[in-house]
Chains A and B, each alone.
Chain A
Amino acid sequence: MQTLVDAIVYSSLLSMMGFGLTLVRRTTGVWNVAQAGLVTIGAYSVFTGVRFLGGVPYIYLPIAFLISAAVNALLFWVFINPLRRRGSSFFVLLVATIAFNIVLNGLINIYTDFLQNAYSLSSKNFLFTRLDPSILDQSAILFVSLFGLILLTGILFFFLNFTRIGLALRGSIEDPTLSKVMGVKVNRIYLLSWAIAGGTAGFAGALLPMRFQCNPGIGGSLIAIMFSVSILGGVGEIYGPFLGGWLVGFAQIYGISLFSQAFGPWVLPYKKLLPMIILVLALLFTPQGLSGIDWSNKVGSLSKGGKD
């Protein structure tokens, strides 16, 4: 049962993190490595709130969302957007996000060092499982992560299909030139997509300490997995990462226990390799991702997808 809870929480959080990657890749063509730092920022926003103000960790979720959203928007507006306008190649943009992530990494570590030295807080390693209230004999995180994901998907669906800005966002993704002609301020819409992506990453990061041990490198240790989620799900489709997150999450947690039953417990430490194997297989066999495969005669698709 605990394994199932782990798998559900983990998969939901992975879906959210992968969603951020997919969204900005889809809107602006950038793989945002700084997503790693944003997840960590989310976790430390909650840490700061709980340690200084107390209370149930969940009340700090909106703050975590806003801070990460602001940081990602800053990255886009100050660095990525000017670079894109100049027509920089993909690796320049990728290097920019990596460099930004290195700066974030430095800042987060300075902050945690400071908390440790000035307030004697054990900021380098923390877990909030004990602060998690229980609902129906289960930790609340199970429901929060699951409903958080469903809510996110719901809001996104509503936003993309029924609001003017949402439609503009979809339009800017599908056909930027036409959107510009129609009077959509494409750059602002892109900025919005970066903010949403960053916020989602921060939100997922804020939920991490409820179930998993957190440290200043937590986001960095998950970045390869986020890429697997995003690529396996397919960047052609905004809802791809939800599929990818559940596949990767369950594969990692259940796959490894299957392997350990088959080959013995020595395989357990290698579970970190699983997402990379999945990533390589996905890149080899379905580089456009699962949602990019043409299911159109079976399932109605939101967008064309699979162009990449």
Chain B
Amino acid sequence: MHQLTLFITDLIALLGIYLIITFSLRLQLGYAGIANFGLVLAFTGGAYTVGWLPIRLGMWFFGVNSGLSSDMIWNNAIIISKINPQLESQPLVAVAVFLLTLISACVVGALLGFISGYPAARLRGDYLAIALLALGEVLGIIGGNFQPLVGGPLGVQVPDVWNWVGDLRFIVVSLLIFFLSLVVWVYMRFLEKSPMSRALRAVRDNRDAASSLGKAVPSVRLRTLMVGGVMCSIAGALYAFYTTGVTAGAYGMFDWTFLPWVMAIFGGVHSNWGVLLGTTIFVLVRKLITFYKYSLGFLPFSPIWLQYLLTGGVVLAILMIKPSGLITEKPSYAINKKTLQNIADRVLNNSSS
């Protein structure tokens, strides 16, 4: 029973985190047609924010012995052991630290979206994709070598802002992450119905026509990359808070760029439901493979690689059979369908009478 609870809480948390990333891709690729192969960049940015900021906020607020701050990385564990009990006894401060860090992560994500997007938004098609692909791991290289940031390859521990919840900590955090992903989903639903989505589609489908109608195409693309960056960064920050640790090498291209791509492409990147479906299926399958890893011990290789075969194979299959994904794009009407129908009826009646 206990194992099942762990399985489900972890599943919900991962689902929430991946949903935020795949919705970011839905926005960038689905609406604006920007093939962002560098999702991992902003994700890493968010995680690094959590590795860097909360511990400093905690030290400043609780006035932890400043002698320790001479080497934040070396003294990381000691500082954490001093901050955590304080955070546990003062839930309001803990939540404030969490929110402040999340807001900072948003700023970092927007900034990373801007930096990678500024030159990139001017490039067309595949050059943009290649540039973003190559830039994706820049933060990983910097973080792995520049120790003061997040402790290099050894990583740092993060203050646990949810310890005050008690025994239910993991369940509450998972539900919170899932709730935040629902907020993103609501945002995407409103976007779907808004004129903004139609503007983005116009930029995607015919940039010349869009710019002739007064849409500043590079600016729209740049802003899309920034919002996408914010979303990925939030996901990275939530993941780091969830695991209470940040390690530079832990944010790889496969997990945090290719896998979200696979999920979105599989479900259908032009539909919110499609993205939801694709993400759920893949997170579940992935979790099951890790869960039954030891039952597959008879294999002469690590079962983790089966996930690679499965992931790659499924994408190739879906591209060959149904390239638009399981659920396809629906038109977005400026007024809702019923009103549209009423107007159509009225016009038809007038013309017939």
Contacts and interface: CB of A to CB of B under 8 A. Distances in A.
Interface of A: 31, 33, 79, 82-83, 86, 88, 90-92, 94-96, 98-107, 109-110, 113-114, 117-118, 220, 224, 227-228, 231, 269-270, 272-273, 275-276, 279-280, 283-284, 287
B315 to A, nearest CB: 4
Contacts of B308: 102-103, 105-106, 109
B130 interface: yes
B265 A95 contact: yes
Contact of B123 (A92, A96, A113, A283): A283
Interface stretch (B134-142, B178-186, B327-335, B344-352): B134-142
Nearest to B309: A106
Contacts of A98: 37, 258, 261, 315
B301 interface: yes
A103 B319 contact: no
Interface string B123-148: 10111011101110110011011000
Closest 3 CB pairs of A and B: A106-B308, A113-B301, A103-B312
Given A90-B125, A96-B319, 13 more contacts: A90-B129, A100-B312, A103-B309, A105-B308, A106-B305, A106-B308, A106-B309, A110-B301, A110-B309, A227-B130, A273-B141, A279-B134, A280-B119
B269 to A, nearest CB: 10
A228 B319 contact: no
B320 interface: yes
B29 interface: yes
Given A92-B319, A224-B134, A276-B135, A102 B129 contact: no
A214 B106 CA distance: 38
B67 interface: no
Contacts of A276: 134-135, 138
Nearest to B301: A113
Which range holds the interface residue count of chain B? 35 or more
B236 to A, nearest CB: 20
Contact of B129 (A91, A99, A117): A91
Contacts of A105: 254, 308, 312
A238 B262 CA distance: 32
20 contacts: A83-B320, A88-B323, A95-B315, A98-B315, A99-B315, A103-B309, A104-B312, A110-B301, A113-B305, A224-B133, A227-B130, A227-B133, A231-B130, A270-B142, A272-B141, A273-B142, A279-B131, A279-B134, A280-B134, A284-B119
Contacts of A227: 130, 133-134
B203 to A, nearest CB: 15
Contacts of B232: none
A306 to B, nearest CB: 14
Interface string B280-309: 000000000000000000001110011111
B319 to A, nearest CB: 5
B306 to A, nearest CB: 7
A287 B122 CA distance: 11
Nearest to A25: B126
Contacts of A283: 119, 123, 127, 131
A232 to B, nearest CB: 12
B311 interface: yes
B138 to A, nearest CB: 6
B340 interface: no
Contacts of B323: 83, 86, 88, 92
